[in-house]
Structure 1
Amino acid sequence: MPITLYIVRHAKAEDRAIFMADFDRELTSDGIMAAARVGRYLHGKGVHPDVILSSPAPRAKTTATVIAEQVGYEVAKVQFIEKLYEGGPKAYLEAINALPETTQTAMIVGHNPDVSYLAEFLTHQSIGSMSKGAVVAVTFDNLIWAEVSGRTGSMAFQIGPKQISNE
């Protein structure tokens, strides 16, 4: 049975101000609405993750919790992993490889360029720079999470909030 990973780039965040650390940036109201739109879209596609992993940065954290609410995932169960903030694509792969074998569907929410690199690494597809709030769905046939690596996945779909609002 295939396993599925949803790679999500955090939605639109406030611009970095001189007095503000990058880590502390929050989603804008447009970003919150975009995350909700993405969550509703995923729910409509029957997406019900067994696990949601996220960077602890507020913009990723809010994106993860808004999407969790929309897909019916218990927000208190979202796992925040420190290394997903500035840990590079390797940190994302380590988090994925550590998922339990019983997990069929997982979601990981983080930052560019790491999430775009991860999607391209796993699928060997030209993804480009994922837009804010975008999702890339990747399926893996006959693998467990510990075996997920470069070129082992197939891209099922890629979509961003602007595409959803036009559907």
Structure 2
Amino acid sequence: MKTLALVRHAKSSWDHPGVSDHDRPLNSRGQRDAPAMGRRLAERGFRPERILSSTALRARMTAQLMADALGVDADRIMLDERLYAASADEVLRVIGELDGEVTTVMVVGHNPETASLAHEFSSDIHEMPTCAVAEFTFEVDAWYELEDVEPSSVRVETPRD
């Protein structure tokens, strides 16, 4: 069994003219929402063995704040440049490369690919607000099998729930 949590990065700041899209930080709301969502996940026992994150600053900050709240060591965060400006299919390929021994993974990325991939797994998911978490459980042995099966469970949480 594999558990996948897709996370859209927390709210980013647009207050820094001239900063590249890749280097935009979180705003104050994002800095509050990310650890709050991490604590909510921790309270119900969710604890990823790995956190994959886009290399964009706002995604990295979200991943770190959530990891801290979840009690996940920083060395469990893996940055992957392919998760920035990716398609849903590319995100799925990155996930598919994970070691089969890993059973629980969080992927911190961007829209529209996060919402698109979540929608592929569950047609009930149409959008992913900032810092939303879509959690899926799959009855598979390997991560690359996700594209061929439907999840056995789906759960979506947002900071406003």
The TM tier, using the shorter chain, reads over 0.9
1:102 shift after superposition: 0.5
Residue in 2 aligned with 1:52?
Answer: 51
Residue in 2 aligned with 1:98?
Answer: 97
- Contact 1:136 1:155 survives alignment (8 Å): no
TM-score of the superposed pair, with normalisation by structure 1 = 0.91
Runs of 4 or more consecutive aligned structure 1 residues displaced over 4 Å after TM superposition? none
Residue in 1 aligned with 2:30?
Answer: 31
1:150 shift after superposition: 5.4
1:58 shift after superposition: 0.4
Task: Report the Cα distance in structure 2 between the residues aligned to 1:12 and 1:73, rounded to whole angstroms.
Answer: 22
Q: Look up the SS of the partner of 2:160 in the other structure.
A: helix
- Contact 2:12 2:25 survives alignment (8 Å): yes
- Contact 2:10 2:26 survives alignment (8 Å): yes
Q: Look up the SS of the partner of 2:147 in the other structure.
A: coil
Task: Report the Cα distance in structure 2 between the residues aligned to 1:157 and 1:125, rounded to whole angstroms.
Answer: 13
Aligned residues: 161
Task: Report the Cα distance in structure 2 between the residues aligned to 1:132 and 1:124, rounded to whole angstroms.
Answer: 18
Residue in 2 aligned with 1:145?
Answer: 143
1:18 shift after superposition: 4.6
Quick one: structure 1 residues 153 and 143, their matched pair in 2 at CA, closer, same or farther if it must change by over 3 Å?
farther
State percent identity of aligned pairs: 34
Q: Unmatched 5+ residue regions in structure 2?
A: none
Quick one: structure 1 residues 127 and 155, their matched pair in 2 at CA, closer, same or farther if it must change by over 3 Å?
farther
Choose from 117, 131, 134 the match for 2:132. 134
Q: Unmatched 5+ residue regions in structure 1?
A: none
* Bigger Cα displacement from structure 2, 11-20 vs 57-66: 11-20
Task: Report the Cα distance in structure 2 between the residues aligned to 1:113 and 1:142, rounded to whole angstroms.
Answer: 26
Q: Look up the SS of the partner of 2:39 in the other structure.
A: helix
